Structures are given as structure tokens and as C-alpha cells.
Chains A and B, each alone.
Chain A
Amino acid sequence: MANLATNFVGIKSPNPFWLASAPPTDKAYNVVRAFKAGWGGVVWKTLGIDPPIVNVNGPRYGAVWGADRRLLGLNNIELITDRPLDVNLAEIKQVKRDWPDRAMVVSLMVPCDEDSWKYILKRVEETEADGVELNFGCPHGMSERGMGSAVGQVPEYIEMVARWCKAHTRMPVIVKLTPNITDIRYPARAAHKGGADAVSLINTVSSITSVNLDTFSPEPSIDGKGSHGGYCGPAVKPIALNMVAEIARDAETRGLPISGIGGVTTWRDAAEFIALGAGTVQVCTAAMTYGFKIVQEMITGLSDWMDKQGHADIDAFRGRAVPNVTDWQYLNLDFVTKARIDQDACIKCGRCYAACEDTSHQAIAMKPGRVFEVIDAECVACNLCVNVCPVDNCITMERLPAGAVDPRTGRTVTGTYANWTTHPNNPSAKAAE
């Protein structure tokens, strides 16, 4: 059996699955239920300075559904904890005492002055929690008060606050990043420069999930009005994966521990984040959609997969995908593929034809009897037909072997690596070095 235990900047947990700072970690009752269900750790719902904030008293979530009402994306306008600081701290202390083997990280968001941070860090230290996470992420509400993403969008502030925190606590400091910026590397570098032990990402993406066409109010509607919320769930995973990868491979932040967040719903999602360098993953929407028990699928799935692959522990595959994330300019243009349609698997729906004929390269022929065949001389290997085909593995991409001639370009496949700088037709190609 694979060993799932993790040690993330000194914070130990029996598995890499942590609950992200959000309603699932809002109080002892939830967190204890989560630990009983098997979660490896939690990041406690973000604490602030008293008096506690007040939340809206109408709906705080909106959603986007797929077929069969599967929840794909969730949007929220909730603020940080609305419970008094002392209540939270007492519960954190008790839960950590009762569950010493689980990770207990406390999320924090206080005004941007050193004394506020110093004060709250001291209070958290008294709980014997394992670490703190600085919430520079919430895109709604708190940002209007100069906190959350208002800090996270200014790298200088991130660096400054991280530095304060490192100066005032012995606990590991994790900086939680907002995706609502243009280039995630800048805030990550700032956190690193400020001395943060790790970054976690992503927080939620600014969003409006829908507009009610009867009332013309954005959803969720509070008395006829709505404000943008933060988007999360399966829909944001691709955004999160890319941001994690960017930090993992950036020269300035390479090696900086990352806790991956955003749309983790299954063991596979978690494995992907870990392959891109994450040391732990954090989950919010999946737990909110399916309940805490969902972690059992994640744990067994990851463990079974690791056994099958021969990965003894998390570090055995952590970061293995990072070297394969590269810039476009380094992609091999001599890698030539063609779509192939498996006629036995084809159910003759014609979706590949419609997609290719109407919107791509007219590279699929429709023959009598609804037989669909790829025209190699036209196929640019864009992959659209593969993506729209409803049948698994019916359309695949096959690589042309070295020596074959691509009937579309008339060029012989050399079988050697050649990126855009060597392409003869590329007017901006640099001379090969």
C-alpha cells in the first residue's frame, strides 16, 4: 500500500487531502466530522479581527450546472468567518489537541498594518495550530475594504505582509494567491521574497454565474441586486493547474512549496496537481457538493493508482510533470499526427464532420452510408474531432513515423526535434543555434 503521508513545510498529515478555508472548515463541528471522514488536514475558515463581519442574509451561492444538473461551478459572495475570534481560537485549540495527526492550518485576513498581523499571529500561536495561511485571495466584499484580493493584486503588499508574518511567528506561513491577476508569477515571487514558506492557489475567480431574465438581477440575487462573487469547482481546475505549473517552473520560484487548490473533485485531479508540483491539495466545492465522505474516493483512488504505478509515496511522483510544461516556442513542429477514425467504434453521429467541415479544415469526408474518413491531405491534427466525438477512443491521433511524407505539406517527417525557429516557412524564425 502506497504511503500517502505528507510533510508540507513541516506540517504533517496522513494524506495530502486538506479542506480549503471555507464553510466546511468554519467550526469545530464540521472539522471534526471531516477528520472522522478521513481528511488529512484543514485550513480553518479565514479569521479576522473582531468585531466579526456580517454576511448577507439572502442567498450567497450561484451555480453553473452541466447535463443532469451536475454542479460544475459554484460562485459565492460569502465573507470571512462571522464568528468571534475567541470562539474560533478556542475551537481550533481543542480540535488540534484531539486530532494531533491532522494538519491544522489557520487562514487569516486582517487589515494591512503590522500590528494587526502581529496581534492575530500571537493569538493563533496559542492554539498550537500547525501553520497559517494568509488569505490574499477573496475577490469580493473584503477586497472593498482593502483586504483579500486587494492585497493579493499588489505584489509589494504581499511581500510586505509576508515579511511581517515571518518576523512575528515561528509557524510556517503559506500565502494564498488570488487568480484575479494577469500573471500569477508576480504575486508568487513577491510571497517568496517576503519569506513565505509556501504558496497556495487558487482562491476564487471573480464571476457572475447568471442573470435572471425576468428580474434582470445577477444571481445570486439579494433584493434584486447582485455583486460579483468568487467562482470555484471543477470549472476552475484548468486555470488553477496552469497557475500552479507557472509557479513550479518559474526560475525565481522553482522549488517553492505549493498547496494546489481549485476544482479538485477526484483522486485524479489531486494526482494532476501533485504531478505539477503541489505538496498537498485543498478541496472546497467537492466537499460542499458531495459531503465529506468524498475523500474516501480520493484516498482509495490515489492509493490504488500509486500502487499500480509503483509510486511508494507522494514524493515519488510529485513534480514529475513540471519538466514537461514548456513554452510554445519549444514545441516540436516535427511531431506530425493525423486523426484516425475507428470505423468499428464509430456510431455515425457525424459530429466530427460538422465540427471539421464547418469550423476547421474540411478534413473529414462523409461517404455513402454515413462513413466518415479523415483526409490526410487536409488534416492539420487540431484534435477538435477527437474532442467532440461522443465515443471514447473512436477518434485518435496517430503520429506519422520518420520518413513518412505529410500529404498536407509534402514535407518528410524527419524524426528529429525541430521547433519553430527551424521551420522554413516561418518568416520570424531565428537562425538555428
Chain B
Amino acid sequence: MSASQTTPGIVAGRLPPEAYCENFADVIPPLGAHEAVVASDRCYFCHDAPCITACPTSIDIPLFIRQIQTGNPEGAAKTILSQNILGGMCARVCPTETLCEEACVREAAEGKPVEIGRLQRYATDTLMAAGVHPFTRAAPTGKRVAVVGAGPAGLACAHRLAMHGHDVVILDARPKAGGLNEYGIASYKAPGGFAQAELDWLLMIGGITVQTGRALGRDVTLDALAADHDAVFLGMGLAGVNALGAPGDDKDGVRAAVDFIADLRQAADLATLPVGRNVVVIGGGMTAIDAAVQSKLLGAETVTIVYRRGQEAMSASRYEQEHATANGVRIVCNARPVAVHGNGTVREVEFEYTRTGAKGLEGTGETFRLPADQVFRAIGQKLDGAPSGLDLSGGKIAVTGPGRTSRPGVWAGGDCAAGGEDLTVTAVAEGRDAAMDIHAHLTGGAG
């Protein structure tokens, strides 16, 4: 292949073949056994530890770190997984810099938190490498629960229900289970097919049937699911993508960032995945960062993220932003797209600078243009295909307490449910808590 970084248009194979392997390897390498002991030694075993409070799944972090330190990584893994069954994925993808590690007292003391995420990975990897599934099912209850969506929320819910002896059927519209673990998370955060390996490991609990290629709304209705099961959990994520709303945003070369990422995650050979020479990503969240960085790693010559507000307002953490800039991505703040130019195919994007005025964000009137062969929209996902009859709140399924929707017998959690940050770990927490509530209802213990 003769393409290079400067080849115009959207083409594959911009880099020498060996570069892909290197670029998409583990962004944060795993800890070795000795490193893990050294890292775990730094934990103070704080009382009522702030890191536990900062973790949406409330993992007993000081305990698991002490278990690593005392030579019991498998025990550490059990401590983690009993709270967060996707502790392995979360160890890789959680923005720890805004969660547990931000709360670490050593972050306050020295600006160097205990490496909680990497230690969590060390523990869970050790257990999974041994092929051990440390939980067993309770006696069968004869109750059947349908879970819609095999993402983190659905999987966490299904596992907890199965553990309590219920039979679970998960249906997912996509050909593979895993949700955004499989189709969304940046490749270099969970390389080596980790999402499917973790899924297989999770299903070792038994009692869970996964039906892929089966969509709620298309293949089955909520009424039918509710009629056939004792409870339904909706963990369908956010399948829709927001539009730019600028003239020309339907030109060739303009795409949803999540679709590009899904293609990238499913590509058997990254050298065959086309990417633009000049890529423009519009948005300020994790999706924008991931689309931008991975475009760069695929060989784009220039990649620019344009965000309409100030840098401090970006939902991507400072750490994520630095990761992007370190990879050669340019971040332009306070600018919004006003037009996409080009003759059928995008050639340039025109932006207007913004400022915060009396009535909120407003244009300054000053514009500029960025050359672009490829434009990624990363200005947020939205709930698509929510079953009718459920109350919504802010465009998501309204829930009270542990994921109860407005319809009795139907729970929801994860990105599709209102409240909580859209993070893997939050989805796990919500799925797990809904499962406990469903379990209480099914066994007559709930008030």
C-alpha cells in the first residue's frame, strides 16, 4: 500500500503495518508482581476511605489493596468483583483521575495518588488468568427476568440476578454482546479482545442466556417481554447520535464518531481502516477524545478537536485532554461549527468563535475554517427507541431509587436511565442495584 499520512482523502494504510500494533497496544501497561507490591505499599488503609466513596460501585479499595500487599491478589479480586462484576474493564477504562484516585489522600498530599486502577487490573487479571469464577448461584428461584442490552448495565444486572438464582435472558440488538465495552471503548484501553473474554468469564456464573441480534421494538415489544417474564431491566444505552445542525452536515465524510469507533473496534486489521488526512472532531467528551486520538494513531496527518465552550467545561478529564495533545491532537476551544463546505464531500469546516454572554453561549461573529477530509460528530448520544409508555426525564428514562421506571415491573439503568454520569462504572452500579431491587421484589422482600 502506498498511502502515507499526507495522502489526500479518506484512505486506509497510512502507516507501515507494524505501526498499528504499537499504536494500539495497552495505553497503560499492566503492573508486574513486584510493581504491584510496591504500588500497594503506598496505600494508607484510610478509615472510611474517600476513594470508596468516590467509586460509583463502592469497591472496598483499601481492603483489596491490602490483600494484594499481603500476597492474596485473588482475594483482592473477589473484594473488587463482589461490588463490581466488571471490575476488570473498569480498571482499564474508568477515568480514575476524576473518581477514586482523585479522592486518594496521597493525591492531596503529594499529587501522586495510589495507582488504584492499575492495582485493580492486577488483581482482576490474576484471577481471570486462573480461569476462576469466584461466585456461585443460589438455588433456582424459578423466576425469569428479561434484560434488554448486553452492555455494562445489563451484564451487571444479569450477573447479580443469576447469582440470586433467577434465570436471565439478555437480548441485544447488536451481533455481539458487551455494549460499548465491545463497540465503544478506545482500543488501546482494552486490547487483546478483553471485552469478550470478560463477557465469557462473567457468563460462567450460569443461568444467563444471551440472544444477540434481537432488538426491543423491532423483534419484541416491552409488553410481550413483560408478559413473559417476572421483571424487565432496560439497559439499552444511547443508540442515537445528536446532529450538528449546521448547513452541510450531511456531506460525505461527515460521520458520527461512535460509528467510526465501532468500525475501528471491529476491524480485523486496522491497516484496512480508512481515515482522513485532515480530521476534525466536534465535541468535548470522551468520545471526541477517543475518535481524535485513534484517528491520529491510524495515521491522520492533522487532527483537531473543536469544542464550543472553554476547556474547563470539557467533560473529558484533564488527563484525557493531555493524552490527546500528547498524541498530536490539537484542541481548539470556544468555537462552534456554522457550516460544512465542500462539493458533495467535505473539504472544510467553518467555525465561529464563541463567548459566554448574558443569555449564555453566543457567537462573536469572527469565523475561521479548518481543512477536513473527515469530520466526526461527537456532540453527544441520545436515547433512541425508548419503549412508549415510560416516563422520560431530560430525554432519558426516568427512574426512582434503584432504577424503578414509571411502569411497575420494569427497571432501567446505565446510560439510558436519567441520573448519574455516563460511565461504564456507573452503568455497572445501576445495573447491580436494580438487580438487588428486582430480587427483593421477586422474593417478596421489598416494600
Residues of chain A whose beta carbon lies under 8 Å from any beta carbon of chain B: 68, 70, 266-268, 290-291, 293-294, 296-297, 300-301, 304-305, 391-392
Cβ distance B87 to chain A, nearest Cβ, rounded Å: 16
A268:B71 contact, CB within 8 angstroms: yes
B residues within 8 A CB of A305? Answer: 72
Residue of A nearest to B67 (CB): A297
A268:B70 contact, CB within 8 angstroms: yes
B residues within 8 A CB of A304? Answer: 72, 74-75, 78
Cβ distance A182 to chain B, nearest Cβ, rounded Å: 34
Known: A68-B41, A268-B70, A297-B67. A391 touches B34 (CB 8 A): yes
User: What 1/0 mask marks residues of chain B from 126 to 156 whose CB sits below 8 Å from any chain A CB?
Assistant: 0000000000000000000000000000000
**Among the listed B41, B42, B72, which residue makes an inter-chain contact with A267, where contact means beta carbons less than 8 Å apart?**
B72
B42:A301 contact, CB within 8 angstroms: no
A residues within 8 A CB of B74? Answer: 304
**Among the listed B33, B67, B69, B79, which residue makes an inter-chain contact with A392, where contact means beta carbons less than 8 Å apart?**
B33
Residues of chain B whose beta carbon lies under 8 Å from any beta carbon of chain A: 33-34, 37, 41-42, 45, 47, 62-63, 66-67, 69-72, 74-75, 78-79
A300:B45 contact, CB within 8 angstroms: no
Cβ distance A2 to chain B, nearest Cβ, rounded Å: 12
Cβ distance B389 to chain A, nearest Cβ, rounded Å: 46
Residue of B nearest to A299 (CB): B75
Q: List 6 A-B contacts (CB under 8 A).
A: A68-B42, A267-B70, A267-B72, A304-B75, A304-B78, A392-B33
A392:B75 contact, CB within 8 angstroms: no
Cross-chain pair count, CB within 8 angstroms: 44
Cβ distance A4 to chain B, nearest Cβ, rounded Å: 14
Known: A296-B63, A391-B34. A266 touches B41 (CB 8 A): no
3 nearest interchain CB pairs? Answer: A266-B70, A304-B75, A297-B66
**Among the listed B33, B41, B75, which residue makes an inter-chain contact with A300, where contact means beta carbons less than 8 Å apart?**
B75
B residues within 8 A CB of A68? Answer: 41-42
A294:B45 contact, CB within 8 angstroms: yes
Q: Which of A267, A293, A294, A297 has the most CB of B within 10 A?
A: A297
Report the separation of the CA atoms of residues A70 and B40 in the bound assembly, to the nearest whole angstrom.
Answer: 13
B residues within 8 A CB of A291? Answer: 45, 47
**Among the listed A290, A293, A301, which residue makes an inter-chain contact with B70, where contact means beta carbons less than 8 Å apart?**
A301
A297:B70 contact, CB within 8 angstroms: yes
Residue of B nearest to A289 (CB): B45
B47:A300 contact, CB within 8 angstroms: no
Given contact pairs A268-B71, A297-B70, a sample of 18 additional A-B residue pairs in the complex whose CB atoms are under 8 Å apart: A70-B41, A267-B72, A290-B45, A293-B45, A293-B47, A294-B66, A297-B67, A297-B72, A300-B67, A300-B75, A300-B78, A300-B79, A301-B70, A301-B71, A301-B75, A304-B74, A305-B72, A391-B34
A residues within 8 A CB of B72? Answer: 267, 297, 300-301, 304-305
B34:A392 contact, CB within 8 angstroms: yes
Report the separation of the CA atoms of residues A290 and B72 in the bound assembly, to the nearest whole angstrom.
Answer: 18
B residues within 8 A CB of A70? Answer: 41
Residue of A nearest to B79 (CB): A300
Residue of B nearest to A391 (CB): B34
Report the separation of the CA atoms of residues A391 and B38 in the bound assembly, to the nearest whole angstrom.
Answer: 11
Cβ distance A33 to chain B, nearest Cβ, rounded Å: 12
A residues within 8 A CB of B78? Answer: 300, 304
Report the separation of the CA atoms of residues A293 and B75 in the bound assembly, to the nearest whole angstrom.
Answer: 16
**Among the listed B33, B41, B62, B67, which residue makes an inter-chain contact with A301, where contact means beta carbons less than 8 Å apart?**
B67
Residue of A nearest to B73 (CB): A304
A residues within 8 A CB of B67? Answer: 297, 300-301
Residue of B nearest to A345 (CB): B34
Q: Which of B33, B62, B69, B78 has the most CB of A within 10 A?
A: B62
B residues within 8 A CB of A267? Answer: 70, 72
Cβ distance B166 to chain A, nearest Cβ, rounded Å: 24
Cβ distance B22 to chain A, nearest Cβ, rounded Å: 23
B34:A297 contact, CB within 8 angstroms: no
A297:B63 contact, CB within 8 angstroms: yes
A residues within 8 A CB of B45? Answer: 290-291, 293-294
Cβ distance A298 to chain B, nearest Cβ, rounded Å: 9
Cβ distance B319 to chain A, nearest Cβ, rounded Å: 25
